[in-house]
Amino acid sequence: MMPQVWADWLAQQAANRERDGLTRRLSPRQVDDQTIDLASNDYLGLSTHPEVVAAAERAAHAWGTSARASRLVTGTTQLHIDLEVALAQLTGQPAALVFSSGYAANTGLIPAVADAETTVISDAHVHASLIDGCRLSRARVTVTPHGDVAAVEDALARASEARKIVLTESIFSVLGDAAPLPQLAEICQRHDAVLVVDEAHGLGVRGDGGGLVKEFGLNGHPNVILTATLSKSLGAQGGAVLAPAALLDHLVNTSRAFIFDTGLTPPAAAAALRATQLLEPSLARRLQERRDDLAERLGVTRPAGAVVSVPMPSPQDALAAQADCLAAGVKVGCFRPPSVPDGVSRLRVTVNAGMDDNVWALACTSIEKAVATHR
Ligand SMILES: Cc1ncc(COP(=O)(O)O)c(C=O)c1O
């Protein structure tokens, strides 16, 4: 039993969440669940690809289920190094450093490079892990309106700090839109700033699988570094920073989320490595075709990434459409205020390129019907 003061506080917090409609609950998936999952981020269906699964299985037998220690102690295996080489090659970046998650990569990178002599300029829609990285740093942080290049340039021009960093995602996770990367890279170059691009939702989806930065030919750009997660298109687990070796050496020596964390598990590293070898341009193309077709059928803007965002008239309509989809055997996401940056409730449908054609067609028909009923 907790001390009374804690029990009272927890009960009050829970009551507040309930009152505001913000209570979150875990609903475990069962192993025999037949629901078509279009709410996950397994964009290419690689998390269940037989070769990815087999690679993870082999790695568990060869290396064990755990990395056993921090990467700096005994937690770096040859698999980690092979994965880093493959990720650098995939994205066209000079080198890669693997973390145990995308969250750890972002919260490990920013405080390691941003101190009191640094200004960080962050797009208003960046992921919580980048925001938390800023909070852990001692940098001065300016948040600019979403996608507003002029505001970024203005903040860069005003900054008196010696080092400047601009943060963005390549494809934003909730609205599914793309960042103006060429313009951001250009102004960063003019202001001697570093552009950090989180490719979580671009990797595997854009640039024939190598990401949006590569599609724009900005890979290897002196002012551009990347972070990525291995848990979305690559169907595994883990994260990475992709940057010149000197920066990665700095992280190995100073990044707390790298140093004080057990290395990525060998099965996850092996799964991600195998997934990088399966990323054919045809897979990214199938994803784009399915996405464009679904967006057209739902009458919404064609998204830049793999997430089709469907604005709904109200939170209730969004919930009702989501429930109809589920009743038809299709799980889609539903975002409502306050977790939508523009206040518009929406369904969030993630496209899956790995899914069988018939299953995909069935799912699309159910979603189309549910949206038509509630919009
Ligand atoms: C943009 C972005 N960055 C980072 C992350 C964190 O990645 P991970 O799930 O590997 O910790 C996510 C995950 O949702 C994300 O959407």
Q: What is the pLDDT of residues 63-114, one digit of tens each?
A: 999 999 999 999 999 999 999 999 999 999 999 999 999 999 999 999 999 9
CB-ligand 1 contact for 103 (6 Å cutoff) = yes
CATH of domain 280-374: 3.90.1150.10
What span, in angstroms and rounded, lies between the C-alpha atoms of 362 and 334?
A: 20
**What are 307's strand-pairing partners?**
350
Give the Å distance between the CA of 228 and the centre of ligand 1. Answer: 8
Give the Å distance between the CA of 130 and the centre of ligand 1. Answer: 9
Give the Å distance between the CA of 202 and the centre of ligand 1. Answer: 12
| Ligand 1 pocket test target in 173, 201, 226 with most atoms within 8 Å of CB | 173
- pLDDT digit string (tens) for 253-275? 999 999 999 999 999 999 999 99
What span, in angstroms and rounded, lies between the C-alpha atoms of 247 and 268?
A: 24
What span, in angstroms and rounded, lies between the C-alpha atoms of 194 and 155?
A: 14
- pLDDT digit string (tens) for 144-176? 999 999 999 999 999 999 999 999 999 998 788
Give the Å distance between the CA of 251 and the centre of ligand 1. Answer: 19
Nearest to 255 by CA among 102, 99, 68: 99
Which DSSP string do the residues of 145-194 spell out, in sequence order? Answer: -TT-HHHHHHHHHH--SSEEEEEEESB-TTT-PBP-HHHHHHHHHHTT-E
Question: Given a cut of 80, is residue 341 above it in pLDDT?
Answer: no
For 290-323, letters b (16+ CB in 10 Å) and e give bbebbbeebebeebbbbbbbbbbeebebbbbbbe
Q: How confident is the model at residue 116 (pLDDT cuts 50, 70, 90)?
A: very high
Q: Using DSSP bridges, classify how beta strands 163-169 and 118-123 pair: parallel, antiparallel or unpaired.
A: parallel
Give the Å distance between the CA of 282 and the centre of ligand 1. Answer: 25
Q: Which residues does 253 contact at the CB level (< 8 Å), separation at least 6?
A: none
Residue 309: what are its φ and ψ, rounded to 5°? -100, 125
For residue 45, give the 3-state DSSP assignment: coil
The rounded percent of the chain whose pLDDT value lies above 70 is 100
CB-ligand 1 contact for 211 (6 Å cutoff) = no
Give the Å distance between the CA of 101 and the centre of ligand 1. Answer: 8
CB-ligand 1 contact for 231 (6 Å cutoff) = yes
How high is the pLDDT of residue 23?
84
Query: Directed axis angle between helix 315-327 and helix 357-374, to 10°?
Result: 140
CATH of domain 50-278: 3.40.640.10
What span, in angstroms and rounded, lies between the C-alpha atoms of 243 and 241?
A: 6
pTM above 0.85, yes or no: yes
Domain ranges for the chain, please list them: 50-278, 280-374
How high is the pLDDT of residue 79?
98
For 224-244, letters b (16+ CB in 10 Å) and e give bbbbbbbbbbbbbbbbbbbbe
CB-ligand 1 contact for 98 (6 Å cutoff) = no
What span, in angstroms and rounded, lies between the C-alpha atoms of 301 and 338?
A: 22
Question: Given a cut of 80, is residue 342 above it in pLDDT?
Answer: no
How high is the pLDDT of residue 174?
73
**Residue 1, Cβ density class (10 Å: 0-12 exposed, 13-18 middle, ≥19 buried):** exposed
Lowest mean pLDDT among 13-27, 45-59, 307-321, 345-359: 13-27
Which H helix or E strand runs over 84? helix 78-91
Return the DSSP state at 301.
P
Q: Which atom of ligand 1 is nearest to the CA of 238?
A: 10
Average pLDDT of the residues in 302-327:
94
For residue 36, give the 3-state DSSP assignment: strand
**Residue 153 structure tokens:** 């340039």
How many of the other CB atoms lie within 10 Å of CB of 128? Answer: 11
Residue nearest to atom 10 of ligand 1 (CA): 102
